[in-house]
Structure formats: structure tokens, C-alpha cells
């Protein structure tokens, strides 16, 4: 296995979404949700979970309190997605990233470029102050409607959805089982690149499945292997955590009780 380090273009902007997925049809009132983001370049986009960044900012804010003594409370009200995508429209290339135990224990491989056959309709509405137009398509076994704006000239959106003459700000399937709700648009002020994180390792679907099975069978042993390899330190460095100095309480939103059984995957067709 090797680390991915190919250079990509600088992010011009980022668009945020609230992602909802009824992954268990026997518990429709217990969908999974996450805060997700698409980093946007002129010809590329990277879709990933924003939950780690939210947690990093929360930890930094608690550490900055004047009387901070090392104890923090971490709040959980989302379930971080485990599949991320890098799209490069100029060369029609797509990379899929799969996380095993966390976003920092992740592996990538190339997948076929996928497009949607959109039908643009006359319906319009305003989202986040932007004038949007409706488009529909069938993709991966679901019928989707999307709302895009030509006021933001990026031919991307959430997940794999792309190819419209403007940025997709909202999308949902026709059964109401998958939703991407607009959460904000910002110009990128930091030196963010539209690329796979440096710690992502190139692998194969077969090898990743083996790792997932190992993690499922013995999490303690799996985490020990991450610790021994030094990869556990990646997440600690990102969050600014030093377990010799910091302790934690963990609190979950009592109103968020997702099902962790999936009988209704995001993609119904391969």
C-alpha cells in the first residue's frame, strides 16, 4: 500500500449540506444524518464529512477557555459518513475513499466515472438567497430532484451528483429516503486543496473489505495495530488531543437515535 500524494488544484469555495438517509426501512423515524461538505475547484470537487472539522473547532474552543484544566466534553449528534469522493471533470476521473474505523483510517481506489442524465425543468425557487432551477434524474436506483443555481458556476454538488450548469444546493430522492439540504456556501480563505488527504492509502476494494471485517471482529486488536503503526496519531494530531493531558466526557443528542442496521443503502443499483 502507498500513501496518496498527487497534487490537485486549490479550492475556490466550499458548499455545506445537511445529509439525511433512512438507511433502515423498519425504523424510518431513525435516519442517519451528517454534516457534509464539497470543496470546489474549477474542474474538481471533493465530497467528505465535515464532522471531524466541527469537532476540531469545538476542541480548540474548549482548550482556549481561560480556566481550562484538561477536561473536555465532546458532543455527538451526527453519524459521519464513511465514503468520500474526488471528482475531476476535466479528465473524467473519480476516486472513492472508504473509511474503516474513522475518517483518518481511510483508503482509496479509482472507480469508473459516473454521470447523470439530467432533465432541466422550468420550476424555480430561492435557496440561501440564490435563484435555483429544478432538474431531475434517475441514478443508482433512485429518482432524484436537484435544485441548482447558475449564480455559482460550479458543475458539482453533494456526493456524486454533478454535471448541471451550476452548483447543486439541494437534492433528494423521490421516496424521501435520501436528502441533501443546503447548509451554506463560503469562499475558501485557507490554503485548502481539492485533493485526497495526505494520510489516505491507496488500496483495493478486496483489501479494504478485509480490514473492515478485522475491525468488526476485534476492535481492540485493530486499534492496537493502528497505534503500533503510528496511524492513530494522525487523528490525535488533527484534533489537538494529548491523552496524557486531556480527559473527556461524551454526550449524544438524546433526540438523535439513528439505526445502525442498513437494509436500504444509498445506492440501490451498482
The tens digit of pLDDT for each residue in 121-139 reads 999 999 999 999 999 999 9
**CA dist list (Å): 263 to 32, 49, 172, 205, 269:** 13, 22, 19, 21, 13
Any domain includes 68: yes
pTM above 0.85, yes or no: yes
Average pLDDT, integer, range 235-253: 93
Residue 232 lies in a domain: yes
Give the residue-averaged pLDDT of 99-126: 97
The pLDDT tens digits of the residues spanning 148-159 come to: 999 999 999 999
Range of the domain at 38: 2-252
Q: What CA–CA distance (Å, rounded) separates 74 from 237? A: 17
Residue 258 within a domain: no
Reported as a pLDDT band with limits 50, 70 and 90, residue 165 is very high
Which pLDDT score is estimated for 189? 74
Q: List pLDDT tens digits, range 57-100.
A: 999 999 999 999 999 999 999 999 999 999 999 999 999 999 99
Instruction: Please give the tally of structural domains in the chain.
Output: 1
Is residue 197 a part of any domain in this protein?
yes
Residue 139's pLDDT is 98
Q: Tell me: pLDDT of 3 over 70.
A: no
Mean pLDDT score of the chain: 94
Does the pLDDT of residue 231 top 50, yes or no?
yes
What value does the mean pLDDT take over residues 258-263?
A: 96
Is residue 270 in some structural domain? no
> Do residues 76 and 59 lie in contact, with contact meaning Cβ atoms separated by under 8 Å?
no
Q: Give the three-class secondary structure for 54.
A: helix
pLDDT for residue 190 = 74
Please state, in angstroms and rounded to a whole number, the distance separating the CA atoms of residues 46 and 24. 27
- Joined grid coordinates for residue 233: 496519531
**For residue 1, pLDDT beyond 90:** no
- Whether residue 267 is contained in a domain is answered as no
Helix, strand, coil shares of the chain, percent, nearest 5, are 15, 40, 45
Query: In the prediction, which pLDDT does 270 show?
Result: 78
Is 260 part of a structural domain of the chain?
Answer: no
Q: What is the pLDDT of residues 182-224, one digit of tens each?
A: 999 999 877 888 999 999 999 999 999 999 999 999 999 999 9
Percent of the chain with pLDDT over 70: 97
Q: Is 167 exposed, middle or buried (0-12, 13-18, 19+ CB in 10 A)?
A: buried
Give me the residues paired with residue 34 across strands: 19
Q: What is the reported pLDDT for 188?
A: 82
Across 248-270, average pLDDT: 94
The confidence score (pLDDT) of residue 261 equals: 96
Phi-psi region of 166 (alpha: psi -120 to 50; beta: other; left: phi over 0): left
The number of residues making up the chain comes to 270
Q: What is the structure's pLDDT at 6?
A: 47
Residue 7 has pLDDT above 70, yes or no: no
pLDDT higher than 90, residue 4: no
- For residue 222, the model assigns a pLDDT of 94
pLDDT value at residue 179 = 98
Q: Which residue has the cell 488544484?
A: 9
Residue 257 lies in a domain: no
Residue 202: per-residue pLDDT: 97
Amino acid at each position: 500500500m502507498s500513501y496518496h500524494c498527487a497534487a490537485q488544484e486549490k479550492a475556490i469555495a466550499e458548499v455545506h449540506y445537511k445529509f439525511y438517509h433512512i438507511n433502515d426501512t423498519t425504523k424510518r423515524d431513525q435516519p442517519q444524518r451528517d454534516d457534509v461538505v464539497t470543496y470546489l475547484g474549477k474542474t474538481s470537487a471533493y465530497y467528505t464529512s465535515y464532522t471531524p472539522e466541527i469537532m476540531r473547532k469545538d476542541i480548540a474552543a474548549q482548550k482556549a477557555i481561560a480556566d481550562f484544566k484538561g477536561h473536555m466534553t465532546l458532543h455527538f449528534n451526527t453519524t459521519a459518513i464513511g465514503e468520500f469522493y474526488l471528482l475531476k471533470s476535466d479528465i473524467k476521473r473519480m476516486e472513492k475513499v472508504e473509511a474503516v474505523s474513522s475518517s483518518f483510517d481511510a483508503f482509496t481506489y479509482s472507480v469508473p466515472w459516473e454521470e447523470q442524465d439530467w432533465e432541466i425543468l422550468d420550476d424555480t425557487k430561492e435557496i440561501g438567497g440564490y435563484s435555483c432551477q429544478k432538474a431531475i434524474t434517475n441514478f443508482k436506483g433512485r429518482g432524484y430532484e436537484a435544485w441548482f443555481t447558475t449564480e455559482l458556476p460550479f458543475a458539482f454538488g453533494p456526493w456524486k451528483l454533478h454535471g448541471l450548469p451550476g452548483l447543486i444546493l439541494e437534492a433528494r430522492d423521490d421516496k424521501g429516503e435520501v436528502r441533501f439540504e443546503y447548509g451554506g456556501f463560503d469562499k475558501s480563505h485557507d490554503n485548502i486543496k481539492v485533493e485526497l488527504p495526505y494520510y489516505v492509502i491507496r488500496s483495493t476494494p478486496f483489501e479494504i473489505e478485509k480490514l473492515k471485517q478485522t475491525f468488526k471482529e476485534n476492535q481492540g486488536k485493530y486499534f492496537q495495530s493502528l497505534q503500533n503503526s503510528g496511524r492513530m496519531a494522525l487523528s490525535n494530531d488533527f484534533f489537538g488531543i494529548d491523552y496524557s493531558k486531556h480527559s473527556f466526557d461524551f454526550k449524544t443528542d438524546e433526540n438523535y437515535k439513528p439505526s445502525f442496521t442498513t437494509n436500504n443503502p444509498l445506492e440501490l443499483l451498482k
